[in-house]
């Protein structure tokens, strides 16, 4: 019974730690979670390259990036994720640590919008985001603000 309670409390802690990081972005940012077995994993490197080449478009869509590996990770702004935080995110999103690559897009509302096991092209990512009602409203607001400045 003690083992069960300990296991249950560990699982609850992992879920809390994983969710805690992303709560800061709710209603402010769209979040990309890149899970990989290592920073050298080919799909991870390819996805990072795609996002880096499109940095201006990534910023325009208010995207932030978390990179998560089995032992550690990195959050937006370069801050480190601890082992516990990284494992919490693996657990929260049902990703097996060390199982390869996974791309997840989390919307501003905190819900999962896309999950892939291979790199996502810039066109696919931006088309999906641009079709979302919240993004449509953002684009209309920016157009109105631009018209008002003229």
Q: How many CB atoms lie within 10 A of CB 54?
A: 18
Q: Retrieve residue 50's tokens.
A: 């795609």
- CATH number at 46 reads 3.40.30.10
CB-based contacts of 64, cutoff 8 Å, min separation 6 = 25, 29, 30, 31, 32, 76
As for how many domains the chain has, the answer is 1
Given a contact cutoff of 8 angstroms between Cβ atoms, the answer to whether 25 and 31 are in contact is yes
Task: Locate all alpha helices (DSSP H) within 37-132, ordered by sequence.
Answer: 42-53, 55-60, 83-92, 122-130
Coarse DSSP helix, strand, coil percentages of the chain, rounded to the nearest 5 percent: 55, 15, 30
Range of the domain at 133: 2-149
Which tens digit of pLDDT belongs to each residue from 85-109?
999 999 999 999 988 999 999 999 9
Q: What's the whole-model pTM score?
A: 0.84
pLDDT greater than 70 at residue 3: no
| Mean pLDDT for the stretch of residues 70-79 | 93
């Amino acid at each position: 019974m003690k083992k069960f309670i300990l296991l249950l409390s560990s699982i609850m802690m992992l879920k809390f730690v994983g969710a805690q990081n992303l709560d800061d972005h709710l209603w402010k940012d769209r979040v990309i979670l890149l899970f990989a077995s290592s920073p050298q994993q080919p799909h991870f490197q390819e996805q990072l390259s795609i996002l880096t080449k499109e940095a201006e478009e990534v910023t325009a869509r208010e995207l932030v990036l978390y990179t998560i590996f089995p032992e550690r990770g990195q959050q937006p702004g370069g801050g480190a994720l601890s082992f516990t935080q990284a494992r919490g995110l693996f657990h929260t999103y049902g990703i097996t640590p060390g199982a390869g690559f996974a791309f997840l897009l989390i919307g501003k509302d905190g819900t999962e919008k896309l999950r892939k096991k291979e790199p996502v092209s810039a066109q696919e990512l931006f088309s999906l985001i641009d079709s979302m009602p919240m993004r449509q409203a953002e684009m209309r607001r920016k157009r109105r603000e631009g018209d008002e400045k003229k």
